[in-house]
Copies of this chain bind each other. A is one copy, B any other.
Amino acid sequence: MSEADGTGDGATVVYELGSGCTVSDVEEGARYHATVNGVVDYGVFVDIAAEVSGLVHTSNLVGDYEVGEDLVVELTTVHEDGDLGFEEVRTADYETRTVGRGNRLTMADLEDTVDEAGHIEGRVVQAKQTGGPTIFQVRDETGITPCAAFEEAGVRAYPEAGVGDVVRVAGTVETRNGSPQVEVDDLDVLAGAAATDVEDRLDAATANLAAPADIDPLVDWPALGKLYDDLREVARLLRETVLEGRPIRMRHHADGDGLCASAPLQHALERFIADTHADPDAPRHLLKRLPSKAPYYEMEDVTRDLNFALEDRTRHGQKLPLLLMLDNGSTEEDTPAYRNLAHYDIPVAVVDHHHPDPGAVEGLVENHVNPYLHDEDYAVTTGMLCVELARMIAPDITEDVRHVPAVAGLADRSEGEGMADYLSLAREAGYDESHLQDIGEALDYATFWLRYNDGRELIYDILDVNCDDTDRHAELVDLLAERAQQDVDAQLGVAMEHVTHETLDNGAHLYRVDVEEHARRFTYPAPGKTTGKVHDRKVAETGDPVITIGFGPDFAVLRSDGVRLDIPEMVAELKTEVDGGGVSGGGHLVVGSIKFVKGMRAAVIEALVGKMGEAELDEELGSSAAVADD
Chain A residues within CB distance 8 Å of chain B: 111, 129-133, 150, 152-154, 175-180, 278-281, 284, 299-300, 303-304, 306-307, 310-311, 313-315, 336, 339-340, 343-344, 446, 449-451, 453, 455-458, 461, 472, 475-476, 479-480, 483, 490, 493-498, 514, 516-521, 524, 554, 579-582, 584, 595, 597-600
Contact = CB atoms under 8 A, between A and B. Distances in A.
Contact of A303 (B132, B313, B455): B455
Given A177-B131, A472-B343, A307 B457 contact: yes
Contacts of A179: 131-132, 153-154
Contact of A494 (B111, B281, B344, B581): B581
A580 B453 contact: no
Number of copies: 3
B514 A599 contact: yes
A298 to B, nearest CB: 8
A597 B131 CA distance: 54
Contacts of A133: 177-178
Nearest to A599: B517
14 contacts: A133-B177, A153-B179, A154-B178, A154-B280, A299-B524, A306-B458, A310-B458, A310-B461, A336-B483, A340-B476, A494-B580, A518-B598, A520-B595, A521-B554
**Most chain B beta-carbon neighbours within 10 Å: one of A343, A450, A496, A595:** A343
Given A130-B178, A154-B179, A299-B524, 7 more contacts: A130-B280, A132-B177, A132-B179, A306-B458, A310-B456, A343-B479, A494-B580
A153 B178 contact: yes
A516 B129 CA distance: 49
Contacts of A132: 175-179
Given A153-B111, A450-B303, A514-B599, A314 B457 contact: yes
B518 A600 contact: yes
B517 A344 contact: no
Contacts of A479: 339-340, 343
A158 B127 CA distance: 34
A599 B498 contact: yes
A453 B129 CA distance: 24
A159 to B, nearest CB: 13
B336 A280 contact: no
